[in-house]
Amino acid sequence: MSILAALVGCQFGVDIAVCRNGEECPEGTTCNVELGVCRATAPGDAGTALDDGGDDDDDKPDGPDPVPAEGEGEGEGEGEGEGELPAPSATLCGDGARQGREECDDGDRLSGDGCSSTCRIDQSTIEVEPNDYPEDSGSQVMPTSSVFVAGITTMVYDEAAQQSFPEYDTFWLSPPSPVVVRIESYTRSDTDDCSGTSGFFVDLYREDVATQMAQAYLRGAWDNGNGRCSALTTTLTARPHLVLISEDTGTALIPSYRVQATVLDDRGAEHEPNDSLADAEGNAIDGLDATMNGTLADAEDVDVYRVDVPPGRGLRAEIIPDTETTPCDAFNTRVSLLDQEGVERASRASVPYACPYIDGTGDAPRNPEALNLTFEPRTLYVVVSKGASGMVGALPYRVALTVR
C-alpha cells in the first residue's frame, strides 16, 4: 500500500485502512484517531512498528530515513526528504512586487491591462462586428496571451426556427507551435471573476469549420467556472482554431464580458515516483498558469502534485486530455484535492463539457476548500487517478494549475 493510501480518507483504486470504530491497523501504521484512518508511523512515535530507516537486516519494516540536520545531506536541511514535509513558500501575484516566475506584477487582479491576474504579460483585443461566423470580417486572429473584450448585444431572428436568439462572437487562435491554453470567460469588469447572472458556451473548432462545422468541432466547455462562467483548457496544435462564444440559454443578452486566452507555462513531465505527499511533484508548485504532462501507468496508479497557495488566493486545477480531439466525457480521469494532512477535501470526474476540475478562485468559488483564507501560505495537493470506467493500458494526461 502506498503512503498516499495510508494518508487519504478516500478510495483511489487501492485499499485504505480505516480505524474509526476501533479496527486494528496494518503493520507499519498507527491509527490517527481524529481522521479515523491508519497512517504510516513516523520514526520515534510511541509504539512505532517501523525501525529507524535505511536498509538493514532486522525483521522490522524499513521506515523512512531520518531527516538530516541543517546543512547535512541532500536538501541542505530544508526537510525535502521523506520526513517532515517542507513549509509552504508561495508566490503572491498581485502584490506589486515581481518575484519567482512572475513576468510582471502590477498590483491588481485584472487581466487584459498588460499584466494578467496570474502575473503574465498580456494585452486586450476589442471585438469587431460582424464576428458571428468564421468568415465574417470581424472574426479576427487574437494573440494567444490576451483578453477578448466583447458583448452579446443583438438578438438575431432565425427564419427557419421562427424565433430569435443571441448573436455569436468568434475569434481565431493560431499558435506557431503546440501549446496548452486556457480560454476562460469573465463578466465582472473589476477582477477576473463572474457575477453569476450570465452563462457561456465556449466551443473550439478546426480551421475548416466554415465548410464542415460538425466535423470540425473539437471540444467545448460549459458551466465549469465561477458564477456560471466557463473555462476551456486544451492543447492546441500549430494551426488555426476558431473559438465560438455563445450565451448558454439562447434567450439573453450579455452587454459586456471578457474572454481570457492564456498560454500555460510548460513545466515538463512528472517525475516518478509521485504517489505520496512526500514524493509529490513540485515543478509547478507556484501554480502560475502552469502545466505538466503525466501518465497513469495502470488502474492502480495515482499522481500527486504539490501547489503552495498564498494568503487570499485560490487554486484551479484541471486534468485534460493530451490531445485537442478528445472530449471530456470520453476522458476517464478523476481529480482530488488533499489538504496538508492528506485528507481529501474535494473531487470531481469527467462529464460532458467539463474535464475534471477543482476551482477555488473568485469571490464565490465552486470549491472553497481550494481557497486559502488564512494569513499564511497553504500547501494543497492535486491527485490524478483513473475515473469510474475500466482502464486498459496507460492513460496520458495534462494537469493545468492556476493560482489567483
Output the pLDDT for position 32: 53
Output the pLDDT for position 50: 31
Pick from 326, 319, 338: nearest CA to 399: 319
Asked if residue 255 and residue 129 are part of one domain, the reply reads yes
CATH of the domain at 356: 2.60.120.380
Amino acid at 375: F
Planar angle of CA 142, 147, 148, nearest 5 degrees: 65
59 in any annotated domain: yes
**Number of domains, the chain:** 3
113 in any annotated domain: no
Asked if residue 149 and residue 62 are part of one domain, the reply reads no
196 in any annotated domain: yes
Asked if residue 396 and residue 285 are part of one domain, the reply reads yes
391 in any annotated domain: yes
How far is it, in rounded angstroms, from Cα 330 to Cα 278? Answer: 32
Asked if residue 273 and residue 258 are part of one domain, the reply reads no
Asked if residue 77 and residue 15 are part of one domain, the reply reads yes
Residue 135: partners with Cβ closer than 8 Å, 6 or more residues away: 210
Asked if residue 257 and residue 140 are part of one domain, the reply reads yes
Pick from 333, 361, 323: nearest CA to 180: 323
Pick from 227, 222, 225: nearest CA to 249: 222
**pLDDT per residue rounded down to tens, the chain (404 residues):** 333 433 333 333 333 454 544 667 777 777 654 444 455 554 444 333 333 333 444 443 333 333 333 333 343 333 344 456 666 778 999 999 999 999 999 999 999 999 999 999 999 999 999 999 999 999 999 998 999 999 999 999 989 889 999 999 999 999 999 999 999 999 999 999 999 999 999 999 999 999 999 999 999 999 999 888 999 999 999 999 999 999 999 999 999 999 999 999 999 999 999 999 999 999 999 999 999 999 999 999 999 999 999 999 999 999 999 999 999 999 999 999 999 999 999 999 999 999 999 999 999 999 999 999 999 999 999 999 999 888 889 999 999 999 99
Asked if residue 300 and residue 229 are part of one domain, the reply reads no
114 in any annotated domain: no
Asked if residue 357 and residue 298 are part of one domain, the reply reads yes
Out of 263, 285, 302, pick the residue that ends a domain.
Answer: 263
386 in any annotated domain: yes
Output the pLDDT for position 39: 56
How far is it, in rounded angstroms, from Cα 174 to Cα 245? Answer: 17
95 in any annotated domain: no
Out of 245, 263, 281, pick the residue that ends a domain.
Answer: 263
Pick from 263, 201, 206: nearest CA to 234: 263
Output the pLDDT for position 86: 67
Query: In this structure, what is the dihedral angle of CA atoms 245, 328, 270, 310, given to the nearest 10 degrees?
Result: 50
Pick from 367, 303, 368: nearest CA to 334: 303
Asked if residue 238 and residue 317 are part of one domain, the reply reads no
Pick from 355, 353, 300, 347: nearest CA to 331: 355
Amino acid at 357: Y
Q: For residue 227, report the phi and psi dihedrals to the nearest 5 degrees.
A: 60, 40
Residue 399: partners with Cβ closer than 8 Å, 6 or more residues away: 284, 291, 292, 294, 303, 305, 317, 318, 319, 320, 382, 384
Domain containing residue 222: 124-263
Asked if residue 351 and residue 368 are part of one domain, the reply reads yes
Output the pLDDT for position 41: 56
Pick from 120, 110, 117, 109: nearest CA to 143: 120
Q: Are strands 231-236 and 265-269 parallel, antiparallel or unpaired?
A: unpaired
109 in any annotated domain: no
The three three-digit cell numbers of residue 99, written as one number: 518575484
Output the pLDDT for position 391: 86
Asked if residue 259 and residue 233 are part of one domain, the reply reads yes
Out of 82, 109, 139, pick the residue that ends a domain.
Answer: 82
How far is it, in rounded angstroms, from Cα 259 to Cα 192? Answer: 10
Cβ neighbours of 111 (radius 10 Å): 26
Asked if residue 142 and residue 30 are part of one domain, the reply reads no
Distances (CA, A) of 46 to 41, 42, 50: 9, 9, 11
